[in-house]
Amino acid sequence: MRIGIFGGSFNPIHNGHIHLARAAAEEFGLEKIYLVPSRISPHKSSDEYVSGEDRLAMLRLAVADDPLFVVSSYELSSDRVSYSIYTVEHFRRRHPEDEMYLLVGSDMLLSFDRWYRYEDILSEVTLCVVSREQGDMKLLKKKAAELGRAGDIVISSSAPVVVSSTEVRKKIAKNKNFACYLNENVVQYIRSKGLYSYRGDTSLLFDPDEKKKYLKAHLSAKRYVHSLNVAAECRKLAQKYGEDPDKAYFAGLLHDICKELPDAEQKELAVSSGFTVCREELETRSLWHAIAGAYFIKTEFGVEDIDILNAVRFHTVGRAGMSRLEEIVYLGDLISADRDYKDVDRMRKLSYSDLNGAMLEAFAFSIKSVVKKGGLVPVCTAEGYNFYTRLKRDEKKISDPKRGLK
């Protein structure tokens, strides 16, 4: 059997990593690839890392149900620096008769002769190089020729997918859109855990007083008061759950900005927004304003913060893996001071005592309301309900381990 070993920080794992592994598997006939996240990398500062537990979880989500990949915690369970020679020796002991390939990107090959005991590595495995940059093939072949005396080196002819974990983290930190670089389950995990989030100077946010003037001029008095109440509730929830209070206030303030536009204008904005919108949303008039609102504040006010945009866009329908800010605006809209539906006091109490429980209750409330009116349940709403149902189920298993054995 041909075995691949692919190590790295995977901080987070992105589409470039998956491309590299699949390209090697296809071109060199690899039947199994171990993905091995490092604990203490010799090349990078550990300060840049999220926890090993989070990186393992993201790896497992990215390759779930794919028989090619096996996620290994070998390096994370070690207390020493993650030198590749130790990992190679570990898997050689596990697979003494198999052909072994060590997968690296082109940037790693160029510095490979500075790796700890690199000649020993090459004596145990075939080094498999997949390009990560455009136009570097000539340089890679030259370096491989220099190192080839110590062992076998093969270079994939596959075209590179240029993605950087560093750039992905920067996009997340600046609240830019990063979903196109990662598996969708990894995106949901990052959002739900608040990984790589920026907690810096909020003075760059748009002045809410300026937006209040706009809202007062374009909304009815009742809707304007509701917007102020939601903003105030979002600020309090943010303070409770460690989110940026000013940012939460701003998102809550703008959540209904397009609520009272004519229906035709709302739908036109929603359709032209470029956001993924399901059929059920397009067929439900009361949902258009949220999609339209996110697009409006992006194009008219220049809001680029993806977390604020998503908080406005999903405040009516919700979804699986919502960010903390999305959850806050979703609940803030439901429990604001002007709300007076039956059980609102119970929902308010739950929102400040059990966030996941409140989200599950809110999704159930929304779905029941839609069904009672004979409406359509959007796909993302159903997925959100299932997501928080599983979270609460997992919480119960942790608090009562005997439940997990039944």
User: Do 174 and 207 share a domain, yes or no?
Assistant: no
pLDDT above 50 for 395: yes
The answer to the question of residue 191 being in a domain is: no
What per-residue confidence (pLDDT) applies to 46? 47
Between the alpha carbon of residue 165 and those of residues 11, 24, 122, 133, 162, the distances in Å are 6, 20, 27, 14, 10
Closest of 287, 262, 261, 263 to residue 275, by C-alpha? 287
User: Do 174 and 222 share a domain, yes or no?
Assistant: no
The answer to the question of residue 193 being in a domain is: no
Section 110-117 average pLDDT? 86
pLDDT band with cut points at 50, 70 and 90 for residue 357: very high
pLDDT band with cut points at 50, 70 and 90 for residue 204: very low
Percent of the chain with pLDDT over 70: 91
The tokens for 18 are 């998956």
In the chain, count of helices (H) and strands (E)? 19, 6
Closest of 173, 159, 137 to residue 12, by C-alpha? 173
What per-residue confidence (pLDDT) applies to 260? 96
d(CA 324, CA 311): 9
Burial of 231 (0-12, 13-18, 19+ CB in 10 A): buried
Higher pLDDT, 313 or 115: 313
DSSP 48: G
Domain total of the chain:
2
Which of 87-96, 191-200, 351-360 shows the lowest per-residue confidence on average (mean pLDDT)?
Answer: 191-200
Highest mean pLDDT: which of 120-124, 134-138, 141-145, 165-169? 120-124
**Rounded to an integer, what is the distance from CA 379 to the centroid of its chain?**
19
Q: What are the residues facing 70 on neighbouring strands? A: 34
What per-residue confidence (pLDDT) applies to 40? 63
The answer to the question of residue 196 being in a domain is: no
User: Do 80 and 215 share a domain, yes or no?
Assistant: no
Sequential DSSP letters for 168-204: HHHHHHTT---GGGS-HHHHHHHHHHTTT-----GGG
Please enumerate in sequence order all residues whose Cβ is within 8 A of that of 227, keeping only pairs 6 or more positions apart, or say none.
215, 219, 252, 253, 254, 255, 256, 257
The answer to the question of residue 188 being in a domain is: no
User: Do 76 and 142 share a domain, yes or no?
Assistant: yes
What per-residue confidence (pLDDT) applies to 45? 45
CATH of the domain at 362: 1.10.3210.10
User: Do 251 and 316 share a domain, yes or no?
Assistant: yes
pLDDT band with cut points at 50, 70 and 90 for residue 402: low
Domain span at 321:
201-401
pLDDT above 50 for 406: no
What per-residue confidence (pLDDT) applies to 39? 82
* Amino acid found at 271: V
Which of 12-16, 188-192, 270-274, 345-349 shows the lowest per-residue confidence on average (mean pLDDT)?
Answer: 188-192
